[in-house]
């Protein structure tokens, strides 16, 4: 029998589209990265090949490509590969998100009970905040809520707090660049006011709902927003109002638990109200 070499990254069956081949490559990358762990700090391409069923040439090509991407690095021994800097960075980011989700609920429960309003935690997604946790006060006659997983628009208080404190202002410019000039100018003015006051208060006249939001920080900067949602005639956004004080207190306590630097604007001037 004549031996043949099969290029596993190129050969597909007749029914497989290029998109399916790309998905297969991504799946292979996931299989390679999952091989590393507390007891497996480095592997050779041959070991990778044996463990996930690739030929050694293909396994080596995957490992080298992952080194180029920063997901793997050259290991301590010749011919070995180890987790790369980008992988550690992504892992640290994921852990920080999990940390705020773990620590926030008790603060939010106390905040909702104290203010008799709905407390909302949002994390930044690919292009805006995502509602990640909600705590409701059920003692009143009216209950407002928002569904976990909701993508918030740039018109919301939470989004504008993120825009005000994000370190990547180029991304902020790109996001605002998708809006018309009038909306860009209005939102930039609101962002400036948020930086001065440390709180965003947005009222919807048509729905009679008010949302107020403040930033939550970890050691790297803003990591979440904490907001209160309620009927407008039951809420006041004045700087010394019990609701704003309670909201900022909860956010400051959560920031402290996360090891955050806090906001230099916590004691800023009275907040500015914006009408949706």
Token couple for 129: 């905040």
Token couple for 98: 């999990």
- Which domain does 31 fall in, by range? 18-83
* Residue 10 forms part of a structural domain: no
Which of residues 83, 104, 128 is at a domain's end? Answer: 83
Residue 4: its pLDDT value, please? Answer: 36
Residue 1: its pLDDT value, please? Answer: 37
Q: Are 167 and 183 in contact (CB under 8 A)?
A: no
Same-domain check for residues 159 and 54: no
CATH number for the domain that contains residue 224: 3.30.450.40
Based on the structure, what is the number of domains in the chain? 2
Query: For each of the chain's 276 residues, which pLDDT tens digit applies?
Result: 334 333 444 444 445 566 676 788 899 999 999 999 878 899 999 999 999 999 999 999 999 999 999 999 999 899 999 998 888 777 766 766 789 999 999 999 999 999 999 999 999 887 789 999 999 988 877 778 888 988 899 999 999 999 999 888 888 888 899 899 999 999 999 999 999 999 999 988 788 899 999 999 998 899 999 999 998 888 877 778 999 999 999 999 999 999 997 654 443 333 333 433
Residue 97: its pLDDT value, please? Answer: 74
Same-domain check for residues 107 and 237: yes
β pairing state of 80-83 and 118-124: unpaired
Condensed to tens digits (0 to 9), the pLDDT of residues 31-76 reads 999 999 878 899 999 999 999 999 999 999 999 999 999 999 999 8
Same-domain check for residues 113 and 56: no
Same-domain check for residues 144 and 264: yes
* Residue 139 forms part of a structural domain: yes
Same-domain check for residues 97 and 183: yes
CATH number for the domain that contains residue 75: 1.10.10.10
> What secondary structure does DSSP assign to the chain, as a single string?
-------TTT---TT--HHHHHHHHHHHHHHHHHT-BTTB--EEHHHHHHHHT--HHHHHHHHHHHHHHTSEEE-SSTTEEEE-HHHHHHHHHHHHHHHHHHHHHHHHHHHHHHHTSEEEEEEE-SSSEEEEEEE---SSS------TTPBPPTTSHHHHHHHHH-S-HHHHHHHHHTS-HHHHHHHHHHHHHHHHHS-EEEEETTTTEEEEEEEEEETTEEEEEEEEEEEGGG----TTSHHHHHHHHHHHHHHHHTB----TTTT-SPP-EEE-
Same-domain check for residues 144 and 169: yes
* Residue 166 forms part of a structural domain: yes
* Residue 116 forms part of a structural domain: yes
Residue 274: its pLDDT value, please? Answer: 40
Any bridge partners for residue 264, and if so which? Answer: none
* Residue 241 forms part of a structural domain: yes
* Residue 6 forms part of a structural domain: no
């Amino acid at each position: 029998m004549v031996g043949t070499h099969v290029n596993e990254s190129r050969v597909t069956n007749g029914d497989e589209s290029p998109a399916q081949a790309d998905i297969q490559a991504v799946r292979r990358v996931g299989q390679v990265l999952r091989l590393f762990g507390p007891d497996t700090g480095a592997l050779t391409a041959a070991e990778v090949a044996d463990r996930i069923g690739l030929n050694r040439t293909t396994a080596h090509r995957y490992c080298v490509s992952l080194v180029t991407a920063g997901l793997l690095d050259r290991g301590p021994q010749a011919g070995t590969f180890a987790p790369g800097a980008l992988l550690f960075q992504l892992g640290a980011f994921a852990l920080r998100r999990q940390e705020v989700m773990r620590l926030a609920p008790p603060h939010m429960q106390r905040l909702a009970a104290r203010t008799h309003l709905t407390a909302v935690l949002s994390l930044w997604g690919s292009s805006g905040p995502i509602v990640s946790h909600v705590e409701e006060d059920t003692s009143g006659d009216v209950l407002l809520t928002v569904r976990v997983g909701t993508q918030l628009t740039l018109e919301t208080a939470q989004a504008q707090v993120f825009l005000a404190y994000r370190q990547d202002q180029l991304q902020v410019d790109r996001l605002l660049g998708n809006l018309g000039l009038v909306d860009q100018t209005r939102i930039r003015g609101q962002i400036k006011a948020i930086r001065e006051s440390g709180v965003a208060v947005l009222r919807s006249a048509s729905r009679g709902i008010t949302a107020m939001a403040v930033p939550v920080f970890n050691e790297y900067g803003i990591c979440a927003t904490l907001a209160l949602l309620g009927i407008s005639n039951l809420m006041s956004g004045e700087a010394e109002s019990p609701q704003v004080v309670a909201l900022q207190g909860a956010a400051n306590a959560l920031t402290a638990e996360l090891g955050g630097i806090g906001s230099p604007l916590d004691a800023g001037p009275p907040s500015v109200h914006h009408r949706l």
